Amino acid sequence: MTRMTADGRKTARRAEAERNDHALLAAARAVLATDGAHASVAAIAKHAGVGIGSLYRRYPTKEALFQRLLDIVLDDYLTAAETALADPDPWNGLSGYVTTVIAFAGSLGPIAGTLPLTPAILDKNRRADEAVAAVIDRAHAAGVLRADASVIDVELLIEQLGKSPLIEQLAKQGRTDLSEAAQNAHTRITAIALDGLRATGHPPLPGEPPGPELFTERWEVPGSSEGTAPAGH
Amino acid sequence: MTRMTADGRKTARRAEAERNDHALLAAARAVLATDGAHASVAAIAKHAGVGIGSLYRRYPTKEALFQRLLDIVLDDYLTAAETALADPDPWNGLSGYVTTVIAFAGSLGPIAGTLPLTPAILDKNRRADEAVAAVIDRAHAAGVLRADASVIDVELLIEQLGKSPLIEQLAKQGRTDLSEAAQNAHTRITAIALDGLRATGHPPLPGEPPGPELFTERWEVPGSSEGTAPAGH
DNA sequence: TTTCTAACGGAGCGAAATGCTCCGCAGACT
DNA sequence: AGTCTGCGGAGCATTTCGCTCCGTTAGAAA
């Protein structure tokens, strides 16, 4: 009946359950980022390699899962801001914060406004906001961030760059062969935007310039007869 | 039986049909931009103030409507590029092109890869690509565009900025009171990114810095009891 | 080994959404 | 007045989705 051993450690069963829980949260992030607002529980469970039944054993409802995810992502925001403040260089701290957050911000947009916010979440959010404000204030004070860019400007820029239509579409089409190039392209665009935030001149862009295939190949409809269907925009 | 008058002008009925057609195309743009890939024909018809029946009288299928829309938007791309080339200042031409295209680019992302492309569309696309390449080449030659930014970089940056998660979410929540502030915020972010593309220093950002309400108020779930529910990210 | 049971996966159910058809009606021409 | 083009939208068939329920599996106890 008891599921603890004598010294109180978890049983193997409970260890698997915990792994499943982490897999579910990671899958929820990934599926939310690609499928957007209509991410389905079935897709999340499948992505996690877990049955739907197991998902509903841990979370009473889809909403509860997303609430938990929100809580965790807020922790990530806070950690990123603290890491940024720990960097001795104000600009490196800010740009590192921006790039880090962009990497995981995509998950939250679709669920904004669909969840009741618990007091704990509101508190975490407030602390994260204070931390990022400190990062930005420090950059302003050091004169490395353009003076006319506000905290909200930076936060909205992060949100704008967090969701990449390019990467999402490629993921939806299963074009894993292009995902590396798409990631590189997104990194370059982020660097361009960050340079726009700088008070002074730009460093060179990272990586190689992206090839045109990111544009052309996305338009091919899977069951098409035409082997070459180049089209942009 | 004939629906032309003696001199060949259209009847009033046909004039209304034509107005409806334009309304449908405009509505399709708007709904695609806000609802994304799962924009429904019902939503498009309603947004256009037109019955579903009328929609299906002009277009045999949803796909046909989107194909027509794609054709029109490609015309807009081409016109924007030609306008840019007509500007004597290479940087003004490029930045005007970018801002113009960003304003209407949001419609196309969701339908990429879902439509068979007609030869006419492929040809239009090719011409639009050539025109924008000319705009960018000219900016490169004039030394006003950073040398390490490629044509694809610029095109992907446009796509990235074309869809605004902020504006979309506010539209979905019906917060028309914030839409002006959101538009301003988006303009500023676009300006930041454009400055990142410049070879030299930045001009000041346009408009007023956006207020925090763009972040805080979006998280309020419509039927919430809590009057104030500030939360960002 | 045998028994017990916690945790698992997924078929399937009712509800909701969606593309499209079909039909009754309004009003513009003759 | 009569005709008939074009209109709006209820309704149908299909798909999707959140969630429940149950038979199966594999570690723990005896």
- Residues A105-146 pLDDT 10s: 877 877 877 888 889 988 998 899 899 999 999 999 999 998
Domain match, B123 and B189 both = yes
For the stretch B139-179, pLDDT in tens is: 999 999 988 888 888 988 998 999 888 888 777 777 777 88
Interchain CB distance below 8 Å, B153 and A224:
no
Q: At residue B207, does pLDDT exceed 90?
A: no
Q: In the predicted model, what is the mean pLDDT of residues B207-216?
A: 65
Of residues A101 and A153, more confidence is placed in A101
Q: Where residue A157 falls among pLDDT bands split at 50, 70, 90?
A: very high
Question: Are A114 and A181 part of one and the same domain?
Answer: yes
Q: Is residue B179 part of a domain?
A: yes
Q: How far apart are CA B24 and CA B32, in angstroms?
A: 12
Inter-chain CB proximity A210 and B150 less than 8 Å: yes
Same domain, B81 and B186: yes
Of B28, B31, B122, residue with least CA distance to B66: B28
B213 belongs to a structural domain? no
Of the pLDDT bands very low, low, confident and very high (cuts 50, 70, 90), residue A172 is: confident
Residue where a domain terminates, one of B58, B84, B110: B58
- Residue A195 forms part of a structural domain: yes
A&B contacts, CB < 8 Å: 202
Residue B111 and residue B160 in one domain: yes
> CB within 8 A of B214, min separation 6: which ones?
A152, A156, B166, B178, B181, B182, B185
Identify the CATH number of the domain in which residue A139 sits: 1.10.357
Instruction: Tell whether B157 and B74 lie within a shared domain.
Output: yes
- Domains: count for chain A: 2
What pLDDT digit, counting tens, does each position of A182-214 carry? 888 898 899 999 999 998 876 676 666 776 676
pLDDT tens, position by position, A88-110: 999 999 999 999 999 888 778 77
Residue A207 lies in a domain: yes
Between B115, B156, B159, which is nearest A221 by CB? B115
Please write the tens of the pLDDT for every residue from B77-121.
999 999 999 999 999 999 999 999 998 887 787 787 788 888 998
Using an 8 Å Cβ cutoff, are B213 and A212 in contact?
A: no
Q: State whether the beta carbon of A121 lies below 7 angstroms from any atom of strand D.
A: no
Q: Give pLDDT, residue A167.
A: 82
Q: Within a domain: residue B100?
A: yes
CA distances from B102 to A192, B81, B109, B160, B189 (A): 16, 13, 12, 9, 12
Based on the domain organization, do B93 and B163 belong to the same domain? yes
Which protein residue lies nearest to nucleotide D8, measured between its Cα and the C1' atom? Answer: B51
- Say if residue B227's pLDDT is above 60: no
Q: Are residues B43 and B116 in the same domain?
A: no
Residue A180: which residues within 8 A CB-CB, separation 6 or more? none
Chain A residues 82 to 101 whose Cβ lies within 7 Å of strand D are none
Domain check: are A105 and A202 in the same one?
yes
Residue B37 lies in a domain: yes
Residues B208-222 have a mean pLDDT of 62
- Domain assignment present for A6: no
Q: What is the mean pLDDT of residues B55-78?
A: 94
What is the domain-level CATH number for residue A20? 1.10.10
**A123 shares its domain with A184:** yes
Flag whether B232 is in a domain: no
Q: Is any atom of strand D within 7 angstroms of residue A39's beta carbon?
A: yes
Whichever domain contains B164, its CATH number is: 1.10.357.10
Pair B42, B87 in one domain:
no
* Position A226 confidence tier, pLDDT thresholds 50, 70, 90: very low
Torsions phi, psi of B4, nearest 5?
Answer: -110, 145
Cβ distance B152 to A220 less than 8 Å, yes or no, reads no
Q: Which of residues 35-74 of B touch strand D (CB under 7 A)?
A: 49-54, 56-57
Query: Based on the domain organization, do B50 and B74 belong to the same domain?
Result: no
Statement to judge: residues B141 and B178 lie in one domain: yes
Query: A53 near A105, Cβ under 8 Å?
Result: no
- Domain with B130, as residue range(s), is 68-203
Helix (H, G, I), strand (E, B) or coil at B4: strand
Q: Is A2 (CB) below 7 Å from strand D?
A: yes
